A = this chain, B = another copy of it.
Amino acid sequence: MSWEKHVRKVVPYVAGEQPKDQDVIKLNTNENPYPPAPGVAEVIRNFDCEVLRKYPDLNAAALVDALARHHGLDSSKVFVGVGSDDVLAMSFLTFFNSGKPILFPDITYSFYDVWADLYRIPYECQALDEDFCIKKEDYLKENGGIVLANPNAPTGVLTELSVLEEIIAANQDVVVIVDEAYVDFGGRSCVSLIERYENLLVVQTFSKSRALAGMRIGYAMGSPKLIKYLNDVKFSFNSYTMNPLTIAAGAASVADEAYFQEHIAKVVATRERTKRELARLGFVFGDSRTNFIFAAHKTASAKEIFEALRAERIYVRHWDKPRIADYLRISIGTDEEMDRLIAFLEQFLRK
């Protein structure tokens, strides 16, 4: 018998391409087109590397405290990890152990089913309606937990807070995770609900609105009980996940509220302008509240547009999957980048 028989075999998540060439217009992984707050570069440039010989603060207190202050919460309600993927994966492992299926939409962040498979958690996907909205009643049946991205990815569609609250209130025997990776670009956060619902975990990230995808910082907010259970599992896996440069960079980002707001406003303005241009070119899409637009063309094939853009060194994202094969997910870049995208599409669609 071979050792291979007992390997946990999985089908890994496939991330968007990260081409090494600098001349690519990269609109395929929802990165922020602007650099992180200037304070980030400053703390890194001035960092005393002698301290790296020692283990870091295992509570990442400087970062946890900064986030707690930012959200008006006690620090006991905040958990940090190596990107929101780390936080979400750890949450699946910690909270979804009932043996009953967990619920999430059929079209959503494609890591959810990967984590469920990895941890052998049963799941049932709930079909979004024709407008890519969730149907509330799908989440009012018996389940082992719920995960909802809000706004959803890759659709960009926002669910009303009142609908989410109904779902959370009706499911107090399980943990409900709301993944708010994109909420800063125009959603309303569920964070105000954590005082009322002990079973609600709200997850956010520094990768999009804070332009720190490279630094790997995600966090969860919830009742002190939820956070304590998450920390117990984290300290059973790896005590020290956040290095001191990450902790300092994250705290510096949170400290600069003006930069944060200003650059979100820039992305949102570019997004709204891009929506008008795409509509003019015959694209249809929902009212994205994120830093991307999920758009189908009335007549042209998404796959053909995707490939033509790629040949032009403009990268967007396309999935050859049921229900979404007609769509492209286009991240919002700088105004110049979007102008080049629109100019190419204009020419391509005229053919």
Binds B, one of A124-132, A133-141, A171-179, A311-319: A171-179
Q: Are A239 and B144 in contact (CB under 8 A)?
A: no
Identify A44's interface contact among B13, B49, B233, B234, CB under 8 A: B49
Q: Are A10 and B233 in contact (CB under 8 A)?
A: yes
Q: Are A53 and B3 in contact (CB under 8 A)?
A: no
The answer to the question of A29 belonging to the interface, with a C-beta cut-off of 8 Å to chain B, is yes
Which of chain B's residues have a CB closer than 8 A to the CB of A44? Answer: 44, 47, 49, 245
Q: Pick from A44, A52, A175 the residue with the most CB of B within 10 Å.
A: A52
The answer to the question of A301 belonging to the interface, with a C-beta cut-off of 8 Å to chain B, is no
Closest beta carbon of chain B to A64's beta carbon, Å: 15
Identify A53's interface contact among B18, B49, B213, CB under 8 A: B213
The answer to the question of A76 belonging to the interface, with a C-beta cut-off of 8 Å to chain B, is no
Q: Are A53 and B32 in contact (CB under 8 A)?
A: yes
The answer to the question of A347 belonging to the interface, with a C-beta cut-off of 8 Å to chain B, is no
1/0 contact trace for A225-262 toward B, CB 8 Å?
Answer: 10001011111111111111110010000000000000
Q: Are A40 and B52 in contact (CB under 8 A)?
A: yes
Q: Are B8 and A174 in contact (CB under 8 A)?
A: no
- In the assembled complex, the Cα of A243 lies from the Cα of B245 at a distance in Å of 10
- 15 A-B pairs with CB atoms under 8 Å apart are A2-B173, A3-B173, A3-B198, A6-B98, A8-B229, A9-B232, A12-B231, A15-B240, A26-B54, A35-B49, A36-B52, A55-B213, A83-B238, A115-B236, A214-B244
The chain A residues found within 8 Å of chain B, CB to CB, are: 1-13, 15, 18, 26, 29, 31-36, 40-41, 44-45, 47, 49-58, 82-83, 85-86, 89, 93-98, 114-115, 117-118, 144-145, 172-175, 198-199, 207, 211-216, 225, 229, 231-246, 249
**Which 6 A-B residue pairings sit nearest by Cβ, starting from the closest?**
A12-B235, A41-B49, A52-B214, A6-B98, A53-B211, A85-B238
